[in-house]
Chains A and B, each alone.
Chain A
Amino acid sequence: MKLRLTYKSEETDRPVLANTIIRTGVPINILEAHVTPESGQMIVDVPVDNRKLKEVIAAFETEGVKVQEIVSTLTFDFANCTSCGACVSPCPTSAIIQKPDWTIEFDEKKCIRCKVCVDACPVRVISVS
């Protein structure tokens, strides 16, 4: 599961992420980070489900961080996709594959939101959700 974490400026003096990793034992991976003087936002990958995921979310919330679950990362407009394959090999995590009939399949779980595919698509059918 991917989470969007929003920090208030008051919370940025503590190692929130490290604290959460130590407390829950979950190897959380940072996918994106935007830090401004007012606030910070991070997209993290949390490779667990169900009860353990709830535990991680609770841990972040205890640290005063707002947590949103990212259900979908990218949207593919398959009706307009030509099945060309231009997005497939540039995907660094193999989240996009071509099936034997050459149609495209996207695996949300493997996506790290690098968005290389968005620009690689010649007919612009991939967008950020």
Chain B
Amino acid sequence: MRSYEEINAKIKKGDAVVMSADEFAEYVKSHGVSAAAREVDVVTTGTFGAMCSSGAFLNFGHSEPPIKMLHCLLNDVPVYRGLAAVDGYIGATAMSQSLGFEYGGGHVIEDLVSHHEIELRADAYGTDCYPRKNIETTVTIDDLNQAILLNPRNAYERYNAATNGTDRAIYTYMGTLLPRYGNVTYSGAGELSPLYKDKNFETIGLGTRIFLGGGVGYVIGEGTQHFPQQQFATIMVRGDLKQMMPNYLRGATFHKYGTTLYVGLGIPIPIINERVAESAALPDDQITTSILDYGVPSRARPVIRKVSYEELKSGKVRINDESVRTSPLSSFKHAKEIAQTLKNWIEEKRFLLTRSVELIPNHREFRPLEIRKTQEVAR
């Protein structure tokens, strides 16, 4: 229908027709998918949700005399140090040794992109080549050689909705769930969801340029737990943290669960054929998920019922003949802003599309961890 080269040529001339995914879904309802696919070059998507598998590679530079850090803390949050002397990885769910659940790796990342000063402490055993045994100083993102956001699993195609059938309130990564099916929380951006808008994975893969944390990033392959057969596809992404913005990377705490990072992410979907257009046009009422009972502490939580994102977004669903309040955990306000920002970047000729060099796979086994030794389960 149209090539990447043709789309980019139109973007450079300022002639590309770009719509956000919610606008495109409406447009297809009134004009039909064939006409819409002929007229529209790019559909932009967006999501802003808690994504625990996120983190950043940091290079601190060498002190005088130099150190090969054994342990490293940023604002009292442990940094992964199984790498070269002053490289580290700060993961979103790592938690402060003093503040615990209230401050973690996600907050460190937010503080980095906010250009705040961060306490750096490290120790070492000392070697002939790296004699220093400890460091206490402060750093900002501007002091670092590299600060690279590299998230192993982001942008779930869709996600389960959660409720709680027990007699007590529970506190989960799906938020606070009131007893006796007292509420439903859900995540995933529905009709704005990046991966659902190319559900056959004809355009997204290694090398796809995206909106990431307010800056530019890239898809670098499938994400962990990628399970496309069940519409639980995920991607791994990378981007220069130094270009990103704190309103699209927010440290967060889920009560009695731990810390995480809210990540803003948007993918442009080039309408290369009518199949991609059909996928990009899917509205909330055609994107479904399951409400699971998170009161059952099992990897196989019972399905209470199927539900569409349209119903979830209406603010209430029916469970056992009762109306139950619903609310999202990811921000649709920010998701829309991201899709709109990406659209503006393309219309202003500031963002060109890239062709992926390896598309994400549309089949993967999803394996559980089987425990081979018998052991008591502590709860």
A84 beta carbon closer than 8 Å to chain B: yes
Contact A103 B333 (CB under 8 A): yes
Contact of A82 with B183 at beta-carbon distance under 8 Å, contacts A90-B176, A102-B333, A120-B175 already known: no
Contact B254 A122 (CB under 8 A): yes
* Beta-carbon nearest neighbor of A98 in chain B: B327
A123 beta carbon closer than 8 Å to chain B: yes
Contact A82 B331 (CB under 8 A): yes
A82 to B252, CA, bound (A): 11
Listed in ascending order, the chain A residues whose CB lies under 8 Å from chain B are 82-90, 92, 94, 97-98, 101-103, 116, 119-120, 122-124
Give the chain A neighbours of B102 by CB distance below 8 A: 124
A128 to B328, CA, bound (A): 23
Contact A98 B330 (CB under 8 A): no
Contact B315 A98 (CB under 8 A): yes
Contact of A86 with B333 at beta-carbon distance under 8 Å, contacts A98-B327, A122-B253, A123-B250 already known: no
A92 to B296, CA, bound (A): 22
Give the chain A neighbours of B262 by CB distance below 8 A: 82, 84, 122-123
Contact of A119 with B171 at beta-carbon distance under 8 Å, contacts A82-B250, A88-B325 already known: yes
Give the chain A neighbours of B169 by CB distance below 8 A: 116
Give the chain A neighbours of B94 by CB distance below 8 A: none
Contact of A89 with B255 at beta-carbon distance under 8 Å, contacts A84-B262, A102-B333 already known: no
Besides A89-B326, A90-B327, A101-B333, 16 other CB < 8 A contacts?
A83-B331, A83-B332, A84-B262, A85-B329, A87-B327, A89-B184, A89-B327, A90-B175, A90-B183, A94-B325, A102-B331, A116-B169, A116-B178, A120-B175, A122-B250, A122-B329
Give the chain B neighbours of A120 by CB distance below 8 A: 175-176, 255
B334 beta carbon closer than 8 Å to chain A: yes
Q: How far is the CB of A89 from chain B (nearest CB, A)?
A: 4
Instruction: Classify the secondary structure of A's interface with B.
Output: loop
Listed in ascending order, the chain B residues whose CB lies under 8 Å from chain A are 48, 50, 102, 169, 171, 175-178, 182-185, 250-255, 260, 262, 315, 325-334
Give the chain A neighbours of B182 by CB distance below 8 A: 90, 92
3 tightest CB-CB pairs across the interface, nearest first?
A: A88-B327, A122-B252, A89-B183
Residue in B171, B178, B185 whose beta carbon sits within 8 Å of that of A92 in the complex = B178
Give the chain A neighbours of B178 by CB distance below 8 A: 89-90, 92, 116
Give the chain B neighbours of A103 by CB distance below 8 A: 333
Contact A116 B254 (CB under 8 A): no
Give the chain A neighbours of B171 by CB distance below 8 A: 119
Give the chain B neighbours of A97 by CB distance below 8 A: 315
Contact A89 B185 (CB under 8 A): yes
Give the chain B neighbours of A89 by CB distance below 8 A: 178, 183-185, 325-327
Residue in B176, B253, B325, B331 whose beta carbon sits within 8 Å of that of A84 in the complex = B331
* Beta-carbon nearest neighbor of B257 in chain A: A122
Can you list 11 residue pairs at the A/B interface with Cβ under 8 Å? A82-B262, A82-B331, A83-B332, A84-B329, A85-B328, A86-B327, A88-B325, A92-B178, A103-B333, A122-B252, A123-B251
A88 to B184, CA, bound (A): 10
Contact of A119 with B176 at beta-carbon distance under 8 Å, contacts A89-B325, A124-B253 already known: yes
Give the chain B neighbours of A101 by CB distance below 8 A: 333
A103 to B327, CA, bound (A): 12
A26 to B329, CA, bound (A): 39
A94 to B183, CA, bound (A): 11
Q: How far is the CB of A58 from chain B (nearest CB, A)?
A: 38
Give the chain A neighbours of B175 by CB distance below 8 A: 86, 90, 120, 122
* Beta-carbon nearest neighbor of A84 in chain B: B331
A123 to B261, CA, bound (A): 10
Contact of A83 with B50 at beta-carbon distance under 8 Å, contacts A90-B176, A122-B253 already known: no
Contact of A85 with B183 at beta-carbon distance under 8 Å, contacts A92-B178, A119-B176 already known: no
A8 to B180, CA, bound (A): 39
